[in-house]
């Protein structure tokens, strides 16, 4: 009997430790990458061997060019420049060694993001190329200021919607905007799979035209009236 109790206690401790490990936020601060200022700063801070300077990557429908920090590792981050200065640092996937100074990290549940933002916010519907993207932080803490702002998306990989029926998932799918208080979104409680911290800048005319084209491609079309 004592041996059985000891075994059960050991299993309980092991399970608790595994759960704690799975939910412990990462320790590296993504904002420190942004603070490196430029490519030279990245190399000085993290080592030349850890910075792929002139390369490209695909996020959603966009192909971007810049640097990759710690490529193909848990510390991988994508760096975009404006006029030679770091303007955007992005992480994506199921997990990462990085978190933002505000407390966001990949794999974080929507309900926890709501707590950090201190307000409800708006996301795009799921089941399309820009599904689960934050449309507006609605004036919450994550909206940022003139120094920094946040972009984020919640997992839409494989249209997985565990815990929701197909009918419930349809209610929060498609090219539309949804308040995260929607019952189906709260029930799904999706995880973050993309986070960007951005240093706002005034784009050149060419950059403005390019950004406008990208926004036009991705924006939600107007509802047609019969």
The confidence score (pLDDT) of residue 114 equals 97
CA 62 to chain CA mean position, Å: 16
Please give the Cα distance from 136 to 36 (Å, whole number). Answer: 28
Q: Which two tokens stand for residue 57?
A: 């990557």
Q: What is the pLDDT of residue 147?
A: 83
**Any idea where the domains of the chain sit in the sequence?**
28-202
CB 152 within 8 A of CB 134: yes
Q: Tell me, what's the pLDDT at 211?
A: 45
Residue 69, strand partner residues: 51, 77
Q: What is the pLDDT of residue 202?
A: 62
CA 111, CA 69: separation in Å to the nearest integer? 30
The model's pTM is 0.79
CATH 2.60.460 is held by the domain 28-202: yes
pLDDT of res. 56: 75
Per-residue pLDDT of the chain (226 residues; tens, 9 = 90+): 444 444 334 434 443 443 334 458 899 999 999 999 999 999 999 999 999 998 777 766 667 789 999 999 999 999 999 999 999 999 999 999 999 999 999 999 999 999 999 999 999 999 888 899 999 999 999 998 778 899 999 987 666 788 899 999 999 999 999 999 999 999 999 999 999 999 986 655 565 555 444 444 444 554 444 4
CA distance 150 to 148: 7
Distance CA 156, CA 178 (A): 15
Three-class DSSP category at 225: coil
Q: What is the pLDDT of residue 25?
A: 86
């Amino acid at each position: 009997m004592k041996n059985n109790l000891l075994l059960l206690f050991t299993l309980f401790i092991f399970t608790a430790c595994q759960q704690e490990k799975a939910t412990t936020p990462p320790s590296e601060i993504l904002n420190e990458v942004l603070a490196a200022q430029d490519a030279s700063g990245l190399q000085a801070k993290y080592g030349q061997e850890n910075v792929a300077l002139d390369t490209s990557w695909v996020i959603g429908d966009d192909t971007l060019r810049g640097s990759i920090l710690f490529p193909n590792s848990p510390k991988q981050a994508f760096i975009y420049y404006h006029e030679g200065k770091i303007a955007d640092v992005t992480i994506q996937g199921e997990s990462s060694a990085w978190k933002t100074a505000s407390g966001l990290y990949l794999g974080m549940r929507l309900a926890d993001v709501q707590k950090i933002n201190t307000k409800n916010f708006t996301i795009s519907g799921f089941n399309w190329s820009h599904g689960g993207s934050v449309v507006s932080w609605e004036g919450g803490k994550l909206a940022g200021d003139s120094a920094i702002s946040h972009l984020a998306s919640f997992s839409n990989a494989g249209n997985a919607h565990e815990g929701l029926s197909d009918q419930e998932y349809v209610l929060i799918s498609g090219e539309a905007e949804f308040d995260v208080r929607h019952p189906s979104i709260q029930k799904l409680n999706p995880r973050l799979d993309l986070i960007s911290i951005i240093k706002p800048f005034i784009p050149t005319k060419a950059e403005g035209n390019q950004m406008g084209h990208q926004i036009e491609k991705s924006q939600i079309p107007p509802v047609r009236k019969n």
